[in-house]
Chains A and B, each alone.
Chain A
Amino acid sequence: MTGTGQQLYYFDNYASTRTDPRVVEAMLPYFSERYGNSNSRSHGFGWAAEEAIDLGRERVANLIGAKAAEVLFTSGGTESCNLAVFGVARMYAEKGKHIVTTAVEHRAVMDPIRALEREGWEVTYLPVDQTGLIDIDALKGAIRDDTTLVSVIFGNNEIGTIQDSAAIGAVCKEKGVIFHLDACMGLDTEVIDVDAHGVDLLSMSGHKIYGPKGIGALYVRRRRPRVRLQPMMLGGGQERGMRHGTLNTPGIAGMGMAAELCRLERDADKVRMTALRDRMYKAFMELDEVYLNGHPTQRLPGALNVSFNFIEGESLMMGMPDIAVSSGSACTSATLEPSHVMRALGVGEDLVHTSIRFSLGRFTTAAEVDHAIEQCMGSANKLRDMSPLWEMFKEGVDMSTIEWKHD
């Protein structure tokens, strides 16, 4: 767990991915050779930067079936989501001040929406079923005349459940409401076509798709409808006036290459990752009282969030020091509070502390998976021997009838 000098097997790809070596290579020239500002129209340094940015934009657009002119670059997924939410809410405030979103958003969407709520916007939070999916009819019913934005997460970063973005997009089209899809997770394996899915705004993050950190993109529809955004920062007029500031040429070259690799390799990656992930799940299911969090099938291939009943998640991780994973409830260790996603799923209070999130990626190997299975099973067995709850369970005690002593 110290992460220093120790061989770690990386199963935390949903926190961040390794930058693909081909991406790194594509970025390097833009640090020391072609370091010009793409806004410099009077010399070759500027033209070289502009060329790299055009190519990056083209590649990102290609990944989602968009036109290059509809893609703008940001500092990451968080900025893309913030710009989509604040940008639409403020630009269309005269039309209405109602937003529809879900109970399982990433904080990059949830917190801006909460901020708007404090400023007077009304928000409908759609609940999810126990697999993490929203109900399309509930969405239909939630949209009002003064609704200006529907913002929904695509692949969930904690549990991997994939929302039915095409159905959501169809409802939004029918009702004439702008649809923002937070697709930071999932573009490395899933096909999203902005037209087929009726998406008006789409957030992407470089470091979740084997690109660099600190770069992201936002797709903004230009036709039917033409979506306008109020910018969050003001400055040099870049990115059609929606996102000011000198463009991050190396980051964009990297993000473009990352997007291109996803487009070319996503089908093969999906098949391989799904097989490895399912092998892991099957091994864990040989233990009693193991539960999957998330949708059984409509789920990102890298996602394996499981609850090992009667074992506290942090101790399970401590028992497999070679494996880098996340606590499945993603509770920030500062508060020790279970996450809003686990709560929204209705995961029982007792199970919420027992979950752990393995997230596989493009570079995960079968040998690593086998090693992780072995360490995790060893840790789980050891900790169940140590667990008073497991002992009670084995003795047939009905734990729901116990009055626990706590303050």
Chain B
Amino acid sequence: MAYSNKVVDHFDNPRNMGSLDKSSDEVGTGIVGAPECGDVMKLQIQVENDRIVDAKFKTFGCGSAIASSSLATEWVKGMTIAEAVAIKNTDIVEELALPPVKIHCSVLAEEAIKAAIEDYQSKQASK
């Protein structure tokens, strides 16, 4: 069960690891997964004029889960909301060469992006 080089690279050098101010109106936070399932991802985006200008993640999970969320933040940075919503878990599977037992990690990463966007949008709506 060896990891792909890309998973190892994201694990050794996680991109955008950390946290944004979750109380800010410009920041959307998505937390998905559950400790008893062995994966929890927190993905945050900072949005200006409909464009994601910053993204951060923190993940409890295996190497593939960490790599999936690290990759997700790398990708969404610079995207518009519409572009970010369109990211599919299969894109992540392909980029990281995830084996079948790790596909759920990519699903979680997709869900984390969507949850962060939802959180941002509901903050905007209630302004």
Binding site for B on A (CB under 8 A): 1-2, 310-312, 314-315, 318-319, 333-334, 336, 349-350, 352-353, 385-391, 399, 404-406
Whole-angstrom CA separation of A274 from B58 in the bound complex: 37
The residue that A388 contacts in the complex, of B2, B3, B42, with Cβ under 8 A, is B42
Question: Chain B residue with minimal CB distance to A4?
Answer: B2
CB-defined A-B contacts under 8 Å, sample of 23: A1-B2, A2-B2, A311-B60, A312-B61, A315-B11, A315-B63, A315-B65, A318-B8, A349-B36, A352-B36, A353-B36, A353-B38, A386-B66, A388-B40, A388-B60, A391-B19, A404-B33, A404-B34, A404-B36, A404-B40, A405-B33, A405-B111, A405-B115
Contact across chains for A333 and B1 when beta carbons are under 8 A apart:
yes
Contact across chains for B33 and A406 when beta carbons are under 8 A apart:
yes
Chain A residues positioned under 8 Å from B111 (CB to CB): 405
Contact across chains for B32 and A318 when beta carbons are under 8 A apart:
no
Contact across chains for A385 and B36 when beta carbons are under 8 A apart:
no
Contact across chains for B58 and A388 when beta carbons are under 8 A apart:
yes
Chain B residues positioned under 8 Å from A318 (CB to CB): 3, 8, 11, 62-63
Known interface pairs A1-B2, A312-B61. Does A405 touch B31 (Cβ–Cβ under 8 Å)?
yes
CB distance from B107 to the nearest CB of A (A): 9
Contact across chains for A312 and B62 when beta carbons are under 8 A apart:
yes
CB distance from B67 to the nearest CB of A (A): 10
Contact across chains for B31 and A388 when beta carbons are under 8 A apart:
yes
Chain B residues positioned under 8 Å from A311 (CB to CB): 60
CB distance from B32 to the nearest CB of A (A): 5
Q: Does B101 contact A (CB under 8 A)?
A: yes
Chain B residues positioned under 8 Å from A350 (CB to CB): 35-36
Question: Chain B residue with minimal CB distance to A405?
Answer: B32
Chain B residues positioned under 8 Å from A1 (CB to CB): 1-3
CB distance from B122 to the nearest CB of A (A): 15
Chain A residues positioned under 8 Å from B17 (CB to CB): 385-386
Chain A residues positioned under 8 Å from B37 (CB to CB): 353, 406
The residue that B38 contacts in the complex, of A2, A336, A388, with Cβ under 8 A, is A336
Question: Chain B residue with minimal CB distance to A335?
Answer: B101
Whole-angstrom CA separation of A336 from B33 in the bound complex: 15
Whole-angstrom CA separation of A314 from B38 in the bound complex: 10
Contact across chains for B62 and A334 when beta carbons are under 8 A apart:
no
Q: Does B28 contact A (CB under 8 A)?
A: no
Chain A residues positioned under 8 Å from B59 (CB to CB): 386-388
Contact across chains for A389 and B40 when beta carbons are under 8 A apart:
yes
Question: Chain A residue with minimal CB distance to B59?
Answer: A386
Q: Does B39 contact A (CB under 8 A)?
A: yes
Whole-angstrom CA separation of A328 from B33 in the bound complex: 21
CB distance from B73 to the nearest CB of A (A): 12
Whole-angstrom CA separation of A353 from B40 in the bound complex: 12
CB distance from A355 to the nearest CB of B (A): 11
Q: A319-B11, A349-B35, A388-B58 are in contact. List 11 more A-B contacts (CB 8 A).
A: A310-B60, A315-B63, A336-B38, A386-B14, A386-B59, A388-B60, A399-B35, A404-B33, A404-B35, A405-B115, A406-B37
Question: Chain A residue with minimal CB distance to B2?
Answer: A2
CB distance from B57 to the nearest CB of A (A): 8
Q: Does B109 contact A (CB under 8 A)?
A: no
CB distance from B45 to the nearest CB of A (A): 15
Chain B residues positioned under 8 Å from A391 (CB to CB): 19, 42, 58
Question: Chain A residue with minimal CB distance to B62?
Answer: A314
